[in-house]
Amino acid sequence: MSEMTRAPEKRKTIFSGIQPSGTLTLGNYIGALRNFARLQDDYDCIFCVVDEHAITVRQNPADLRRRCLELAAIYIASGIDPEKNLIYCQSHVSAHAELAWILNCFTYMGELSRMTQFKAKSAAHADNINAGLFTYPVLMAADILLYQTDLVPVGVDQKQHLELCRDIAIRFNGVYGDVFTVPEGYIPKVGAKIMSLQDPTRKMSKSDPEETFISLLDGPDTIRRKLKRAVTDSDASIRFDPENKPGVSNLLSIMSALGAGEISALETEFEGLGYGELKSRAADCVIAALEPLQAEFRRLIADKAYLQGVINASAEKAGYLANKTLRKVQKKVGFAAR
Ligand code: TRP
C-alpha cells in the first residue's frame, strides 16, 4: 500500500501527572520533563497538574494555588507547546473525581493495602492517614483511563500504581466489554537517574530536605552552594563508579546528561584535578542548562492571564475527551440516561 492510501494511524496518547507539591528538581527535568518536549511531535500528550492528589497530605492553600500555575509555567518553559498538548489542572475536570468513585467500587481494600507508597506515606503522616491517601491510586487510575491512554511515563516509584491501574481496567473490561484502553508504562530510552546531593545512593527528590536537591528555579548562587556541599568521598579520584563512588558519579552523570560530553571523556578531562574543580564545573553546567528555562519561566509567570488562558482552554478540551469515556462508563454500570 502506498503512503497515500494507508489510513492515517491514530497517534498514541501519553498521559502524565505531576503533583504541585514542592518545586521540581533537576532530577525531574533530566529524567522526565525535557523528554516530554521530544515526545510532542509523535504523541498526543496530556500533562495534568494533579492538585487533587496533592491534598492527600495537608497543603497550605495559597502555596498550592501558586504552585499549580508555576507548574504549568514550568511545563511550557521546558519546551512543551501548549497549542499541541494539554496542560491543565485535575480539579478543573470533574470527570476525574467522578470516574475515581466508580473505580473505587472495582478496587479491593487488599490491593490498596499492599501499595508501598501508601505504607510509606501513612508512616510519614501518621497524624493524617486519610481515606484519600488510601484510594490515591484509584484516582490515578481514573486520570489515566479517562483519556484512553496508551502510554504513561513512570518512574519506579509509580510502577506499582500503574500495575493496579491496568488490573482495574482489565477487571472492568472483563465485566462490561472493551471500555478502557489498557495502558503501558513508558520508560524513556535516555535519561540518567539523578541522585540526592547529600545521600547519593538515593534518588534526588523534591520531598527531601532542601540541600539534597537542585530546584529548577534555584539561582546561580544557590546552585553553586549546593554543589559545593555535595557529598563525595575521601578517595580523591574522579572516576565513574556508582557502586563505590556514588557522589562523584552523580556529578559526572549530571554533567554528561546536560551535554558536557560522554562520561569517559569527562573522566579523562578531570584526570589529576580535585573535587573542588569538579563541583565548580558541574555548577557551571547546571547554571547554563537552567538559565534559559528560568528566563522563560519568569516571563510566563509574570503573565498570569496567559497562563490562566492556557489551563482554561486545555481543561475544556480535556473535559470533552474525559466526558466521552465517563458517559460510556456510567451507561455501562447502569446509571439512568440523562
Ligand atoms: N502519583 C503520581 C506521582 O506522585 C502522580 C500522578 C497522578 C500520575 N496521576 C497520574 C502520574 C497519572 C502518571 C499518570 O508521581
Where residue 8 falls among pLDDT bands split at 50, 70, 90? low
Q: Is 49 in the pocket of ligand 1 (CB under 6 A)?
A: no
Residues 129-156: what's their mean pLDDT?
96
Of all protein residues, the one whose alpha carbon is nearest to atom 12 of ligand 1 is: 17
Distance of CA 53 from the midpoint of ligand 1 (Å): 8
The per-residue pLDDT for 22 is: 78
Measured CA to CA, the distance from residue 191 to residue 45 in angstroms comes to 19
Pair (32, 164) in one structural domain: yes
Q: What is the CATH number of the domain that holds 47?
A: 3.40.50.620
- Quote the pLDDT of residue 2: 47
Q: What is the mean pLDDT of residues 199-210?
A: 91
Q: Is 270 a residue whose pLDDT tops 70? A: yes
**Catalytic positions, written as ranges:** 121, 203, 206
Does residue 227 sit in the same domain as residue 314? no
Does residue 44 lie within any of the structural domains?
yes
Q: Decide whether any atom of ligand 1 lies within 6 Å of the 96 Cβ.
A: no
- Nearest atom of ligand 1 to the alpha carbon of 50: 7
**Does residue 99 sit in the same domain as residue 166?**
yes
CA-CA-CA-CA torsion for 200, 205, 210, 214, nearest 10 degrees? 80
* 108 and 69, same domain (yes or no): yes
* Residues 29 and 147 occupy one common structural domain: yes
CATH code of residue 261 = 1.10.240.10
| Claim to verify: residue 295 and residue 308 sit in the same structural domain | no
User: Quick one: average pLDDT of 121-143?
Assistant: 95
Cell output for 174: 472483563
The answer on 229 and 143 residing in a single domain is: no
| pLDDT confidence band for 131 (50 / 70 / 90) | very high
What's residue 1's pLDDT? Answer: 43
| Residue 201 domain-assigned (yes or no) | no
Q: Is 183 in the pocket of ligand 1 (CB under 6 A)?
A: no
Query: What end-to-end distance do the CA atoms of the chain give, in Å?
Result: 45
Cβ 203 under 6 angstroms from ligand 1? no
273 and 314 within one domain: no
Cβ of 196 less than 6 Å from ligand 1? no
140 Cα to the center of ligand 1, angstroms: 6
One domain, residues 27 and 168: yes
- Residue identifier of the C-alpha nearest atom 10 of ligand 1: 17
CA 21 – ligand 1 centroid, Å: 12
Q: Model confidence over 57-100: pLDDT tens digits? A: 999 999 999 999 999 999 999 999 999 999 999 999 999 999 99
Distance 233 CA to ligand 1 centre (A): 35
The proportion of the chain whose per-residue pLDDT surpasses 90, expressed as a percent, equals: 87
Q: Note whether residue 49 is domain-resident.
A: yes
Determine, yes or no, domain membership for 187: no
Q: Which domain holds residue 85?
A: 13-182+303-333
Indicate whether 190 belongs to any domain. Answer: no
Helix (H, G, I), strand (E, B) or coil at 7: coil
pLDDT computed for residue 7 by the predictor: 58
Same domain for 96 and 146?
Answer: yes
Q: Is the CB of 29 under 6 A from ligand 1?
A: no
- How does the average pLDDT of the chain come out, rounded? 94
Task: For residue 180, report the distance from its CA to the centre of ligand 1, in Å.
Answer: 18
Residue spans of beta strands (DSSP E) within 91-212: 151-153, 184-186
More confident residue, 124 or 222: 222
For residue 220, is it within any domain?
A: yes
Residues 28 and 101 in one domain: yes
Q: How many domains does the chain have?
A: 2
What is the reported pTM? 0.90
Are residues 150 and 239 both part of a single domain? no
In a domain, 6, yes or no: no
Question: Among residues 204, 193, 206, which one has the least CA distance to residue 231?
Answer: 204
32 belongs to a structural domain? yes
Dihedral sign, CA of 34, 37, 38, 39? positive
